Amino acid sequence: MSVAGPIRSILQQQDRALYQVKKQIKEQGNKAVVKVREKLPTEAEIKNKFKTQASAALCSANGLAKSQKAYDKIKRLINSLKKIIEGAEKALNKIKSICEKILAAVQKILGILTTLAGLIAVLSVVVKVAKTILTAVGSIFFPPPTGGVLLAPGTAVFLKEKLDDAKGLIETIKATVSTFPKLLEKYTSKAKKYLGYVVAAIAALAAVKNLLNFIVGLLETLYLGMLSQCGSFSSNSDPIDEDGNVNTNNAGNSGTAGNSGTPEEFLDNLGFNQDNISSGADPFDYSDDLTDYYESQLATLQAQGNTEIIEKIYNANFQMLGYRRYKV
């Protein structure tokens, strides 16, 4: 009977698992992060697309339709990028589970070896004592007239062979117990290394997911601000007059409805920017402030009776804004 055989069989399974882990880490690793970052619009690009200063052109039916088209396009892009991140997270968590199972298998084998080591110590003593007894019994002679020895020579030889076999098996098990721990260190080391890679990759994905949520919040706030300004805007209050001069007394230059500043100023004062998010801030920590902003804009538009703009806001299907929905 070989104790090493079953253990080697288990280790071969771990070899295959480690190979798959290494392959999948290369496939998932930074691939998703790089792909998403390449396609993700920047803070500056979003702000450039959704300038909130109202004008006759921006607030016309055609202008609003163009803004909505741009908004919907970016929203679809972000949702598709989120799916990439979610798929990569799922794959990496599966890899993480494999690594943990490998480490558990190694611990199981070490437990078996520890048990065997204790058994070897006991069996070694048993065999040694048995041989001593066999020798002693085999040398006991019966007195005449019976004569002979207590244990027949054939039986003594047979028992000695069995004890020698037992001793050989013990030595084999002992060799297994002393050899395999060093081999197991290799599996433990690899599994822990790959597990470290996976944890780092999952953390990188979480950072990108935060960035995606930030872009959603930025996009929605600027789009809301633009709609809010257009709701308060009339063609007679264009910030630029026919001579190209800036009008100082008009709705389009006075900030968003119900606020003394522009959406950009609101976000700047809040500290809702890419630098802070990239430094580890969670976009959802700003949820209450963003929702308050949403509600203040909506309340003003409702007071104005501007159902057309309100409908556009509801149709925008905000994700970061408006958790406490107004019921019109």
Are 174 and 2 contacting, i.e. CB atoms less than 8 angstroms apart? no
Band of pLDDT at residue 277, cut at 50, 70 and 90: very high
**300, part of any domain:** yes
**Mean pLDDT along residues 196-218:** 90
- Would you place residue 59 in the very low, low, confident or very high pLDDT band (cuts 50, 70, 90)? confident
More confident residue, 199 or 272: 272
CA pair distance 159, 163, nearest whole angstrom: 6
* Model pLDDT, residue 273: 93
Tokens matching residue 1? 């009977």
Residue 76 falls within a domain, yes or no?
yes
What is the pLDDT averaged over residues 110-138? 64
Percentage, residues of the chain above pLDDT 70: 67
* Tokens describing residue 178: 């002393």
Using 50, 70 and 90 to split pLDDT, how confident is the model at 50? confident
pLDDT at 40 over 60: yes
Position with higher pLDDT, 143 vs 232: 232
Distance CA 328, CA 320 (A): 20
Distances (CA, A) of 142 to 146, 149, 151, 272, 326: 6, 6, 10, 102, 109
* Rounded Cα–Cα distance for residues 50 and 226 (Å): 7
Which segment, 134-138, 210-214, 301-305, is predicted with the most confidence on average?
210-214
Can you give the pLDDT at residue 18?
A: 81
User: Residue 213: what pLDDT?
Assistant: 93
Q: What is d(CA 171, CA 52) in angstroms, rounded to the nearest whole number?
A: 83
Note whether 303 and 228 are within 8 A (CB).
no
Q: Is residue 203 part of a domain?
A: yes
Beta-bridge partners for 59: none
In which domain, by residue range, is 205 found?
Answer: 4-315
pLDDT of residue 135: 56
Q: Name the residue with higher pLDDT: 281 or 244.
A: 281
Average the pLDDT over each of 100-104, 139-143, 198-202 and give the range with the smallest value.
139-143
Report the pLDDT value the prediction gives residue 196, as an integer from 0 to 100: 85
Helices (runs of H) and strands (runs of E) counted in the chain? 10, 0
Most confident of 13-22, 72-81, 154-163, 234-243: 72-81
**Which has more pLDDT, 53 or 151?**
53
| 20 vs 4: CA distance, rounded Å | 24
Tally of domains in the chain: 1
Q: What are residue 3's phi and psi, to 5 degrees?
A: -75, -30
Phi, then psi, of 306 in degrees rounded to 5: -90, 75
Comparing 6-10, 215-219, 315-319, the range with the smallest average pLDDT is 6-10
* Range 277-291 average pLDDT: 90
Q: Are 210 and 283 in contact (CB under 8 A)?
A: yes
Q: Is the pLDDT assigned to residue 271 strictly greater than 90?
A: yes
Q: What is the pLDDT of residues 212-249, one digit of tens each?
A: 999 999 999 999 998 888 887 754 455 554 555 545 44
Burial of 117 (0-12, 13-18, 19+ CB in 10 A): middle
Residue 324, domain member (yes or no)? no
Distant-in-sequence contacts of 174-180, Cβ < 8 A, 24+ apart: 174/120, 176/3, 176/4, 176/7, 176/113, 176/116, 177/113, 177/116, 177/117, 177/120, 180/4, 180/7, 180/109, 180/113
CA 205 to chain CA mean position, Å: 6
Q: Does any domain span residue 259?
A: yes
Residue 31 lies in a domain: yes
Task: Please name which of 239, 74, 118 lies closest in space to residue 66, comparing C-alpha atoms.
Answer: 74
Query: How do residues 66-104 score in pLDDT, each as one tens digit?
Result: 999 999 999 999 999 999 999 888 888 888 888 888 888
pLDDT at 24: 76
As a whole number, the mean pLDDT across the chain is 76
With respect to residue 44, please indicate whether it lies within any of the assigned structural domains: yes
| Residues 220 and 320 sit within 8 Å (Cβ to Cβ) | yes
Report the distance separating Cα 1 and Cα 109, nearest Å.
Answer: 17
Percent helix, strand and coil across the chain, each to the nearest 5: 75, 0, 20
Predicted structure pTM score: 0.70
> Does residue 327 form part of some domain?
no
> How far is Cα 66 from Cα 316, in angstroms, rounded to an integer?
14
Count of C-beta atoms within a 10 Å radius of residue 203:
9
Give pLDDT, residue 147: 45
The pLDDT of residue 253: 44
pLDDT at 22: 75
